[in-house]
Amino acid sequence: MIFYNAANREIRRTSSIVKSPLFSLLGEVLSGASIIRAYGRESAIIRETLRRLDLVYSCSSLENTANRWLGVRIYFLGNIVATTIMTVGVVMVMSGRLKDNIGIISLSLTLSLQTLEQLIWLVRCVASVEADMNSVERIIYYTKETPKEDIPELNAEVDALVMCDNLKTKKITLDVMVEADGSAAMLEDKAQSGSLELRNVDLRYREGLPLVLCGVSFRIEPGEKIGIVGRTGSGKSTLLLAFMRMVDISGGDIIVNDAPIHSLPVRKLRQLFSMIPQDPLLFEGTVRQNLDPFLESSNKELWHALTLVGMYTRISNEAEGIDCRVQEGGANFSVGQRQLLCMARAVLKKNSRFILMDEATANIDPEVDQYIQSTVMRTFAAYTVITIAHRLQTVAQYDRIIVMNNGRVAEIGSPYDLVTRQDSIFRSMVNSMGFSATRQFMETADASNLVRR
């Protein structure tokens, strides 16, 4: 039994380890099937899948072998017990001791066989529980050993969450930790500001790597609508990561609401930002759970948010209303509708003052893009909106454009000023869209410029 438990435990552990790469490969194949076919890599993927399957089935074979090994020995032990009972019974009958109670032998034999079955079941349960503790062991390993952000106050919060026994304790712990920092109160006082300033910011993803951002400086006033444009690799998305301290800057400073971001608790800092990504993220569940995952908003607030983004009619037509089901990945909604639901989620986020959009409309047709942009301008009029634009038409109505080039701010100004400047990088980007799109951009920028004046 001791030998079996030790062997079965290690076999289960090895099986868990070799299954992870197989599941990972299957996920990658499903998400990148078109790319695999385009480059003709089907045979290489099949070979790699077979290799990983071989490892998984090797472990399964070892596990079955161990079970057969245990079964043979338990049944052998049972046969010994049964044979002993039969031998003793025969001897006692022949000696005349059980002449009138021969049925006791049959009862003893039957009970011994039933006991054998229960013993087999008990041994397998004990072995299975011990082997299944590998799952708990792996969870604990990932909880403690997975690298976390190198931010002291955030690590302290995560450690506190791991040690908490219930949600009430978690809330009390986090509230005490945040309120213990005087900067938290300062952030609450200035949460309505929405100003953002970068002062000579340098950033690299890891020590020894070249700078991704170099000497970036600009200021965004509360309520401004800012577009960030530039070619691939110019540092646009890195700026958004820097705002939320997803990546720590190497030099300079970032000022949010007139306070350096390093003086603010990370959890409170990130509450100020709402991110609307290129691929809208919806979880399987209900519309309510997707809009308000922490159940902090009332029905009235939920319907108001849906009304603001233009999804009231779509959701109200469902029989369950805001409790209607959302399929995995939001498959029962179009891309544009998923994007609008993400915007409604941003509206409901408490204390949020900044809306970050990372090419949020790049995968949407121009008509839906125009509708979403009008919704952004209307719904988030009081917010500071920062948009990374793939389509330049998206930011034609914005207050200012920041043009990034090789990690530096190449140009900054209103869309109209930049597009009318002869030597402007932004002008060349607009001209590359073609005559019709350029003309449309110029008309939109000109109209917006007149409105601002």
The whole-number pLDDT of residue 31 equals 85
> In this predicted model, what pLDDT tens digit does every residue of 393-434 receive, in sequence order?
888 889 999 999 999 999 999 999 999 888 889 999 998 888
How far, CA to CA in Å, does 163 sit from each of 138, 139, 159, 220, 243? Answer: 17, 14, 6, 40, 29
- Residue 164: which pLDDT band, with cuts at 50, 70 and 90? low
* Mean pLDDT of all residues belonging to the chain: 82
The whole-number pLDDT of residue 160 equals 62
Average pLDDT, stretch 358-370?
72
275 and 404: one domain? yes
Higher pLDDT, 437 or 8: 437
Q: Is residue 87 part of a domain?
A: yes
- Distance, in Å, from the CA atom of 414 to the CA atom of 370, rounded to the nearest integer, reads 19
Give yes or no for residue 203 having a pLDDT over 90. yes
State which H helix or E strand residue 3 sits in.
helix 2-31
Q: Is residue 91 part of a domain?
A: yes
368 and 319: one domain? yes
The whole-number pLDDT of residue 360 equals 67
**Cβ within 8 Å of residue 151, ≥6 positions away:** 245, 248, 266
Helix axes 335-348, 366-379, angle to 10 degrees: 10
Tokens of 230: 């530039």
Contact 194, 222 (CB under 8 A): yes
Lowest mean pLDDT among 42-46, 98-102, 273-277, 395-399: 98-102
Nearest to 364 by CA among 337, 388, 327: 337
202 and 349: one domain? yes
270 and 414: one domain? yes
Q: Is residue 186 part of a domain?
A: no
Structurally, how many domains does the chain consist of? Answer: 3
Q: Is residue 253 part of a domain?
A: yes
Dihedral of CA 442/237/399/412: which sign? negative
* Strand, coil or helix: 153: helix
The whole-number pLDDT of residue 150 equals 58
Give yes or no for residue 317 having a pLDDT over 70. yes
Q: Is residue 225 part of a domain?
A: yes
* Strand, coil or helix: 390: coil
- Distance, in Å, from the CA atom of 343 to the CA atom of 345, rounded to the nearest integer, reads 5
276 and 336: one domain? yes
Q: What's the CATH code of the domain at 206?
A: 3.40.50.300
Domain span at 46: 2-145
Q: Is residue 173 part of a domain?
A: yes
The whole-number pLDDT of residue 52 equals 92
- Residue 159: which pLDDT band, with cuts at 50, 70 and 90? low
272-283 burial, b at 16+ Cβ within 10 Å, e below that, comes to bbbbbebebebe
Nearest to 84 by CA among 112, 121, 118, 120: 112
The whole-number pLDDT of residue 81 equals 80
The whole-number pLDDT of residue 395 equals 87
Q: pTM of the full predicted structure?
A: 0.67
CB neighbours of residue 335 within 10 Å: 15
How far, CA to CA in Å, does 330 sit from each of 27, 287, 325, 338? Answer: 18, 10, 9, 7
172 and 97: one domain? no
226 and 276: one domain? yes
Tokens of 316: 């109200």
The whole-number pLDDT of residue 125 equals 80
* Strand, coil or helix: 438: helix
256 and 391: one domain? yes
Q: What's the CATH code of the domain at 139?
A: 1.20.1560.10
Average pLDDT, stretch 54-72?
86
Task: Specify the DSSP class assigned to residue 385.
Answer: E
Average pLDDT, stretch 1-24?
80
Higher pLDDT, 128 or 261: 261
35 Ramachandran zone, left/alpha/beta (phi>0; psi -120 to 50):
alpha
The whole-number pLDDT of residue 413 equals 92
Give yes or no for residue 149 having a pLDDT over 70. no
65 and 175: one domain? no
- Residue 226: which pLDDT band, with cuts at 50, 70 and 90? very high
The whole-number pLDDT of residue 422 equals 87
139 and 279: one domain? no
247 and 325: one domain? yes
242 and 170: one domain? no
Q: Tell me the pairing of strands 225-230 and 400-405.
A: parallel
The whole-number pLDDT of residue 438 equals 87
Alpha-carbon torsion angle 92, 98, 103, 105, nearest 10: -20
pLDDT > 70 fraction of the chain, expressed in percent and rounded: 86
Give yes or no for residue 330 having a pLDDT over 80. yes
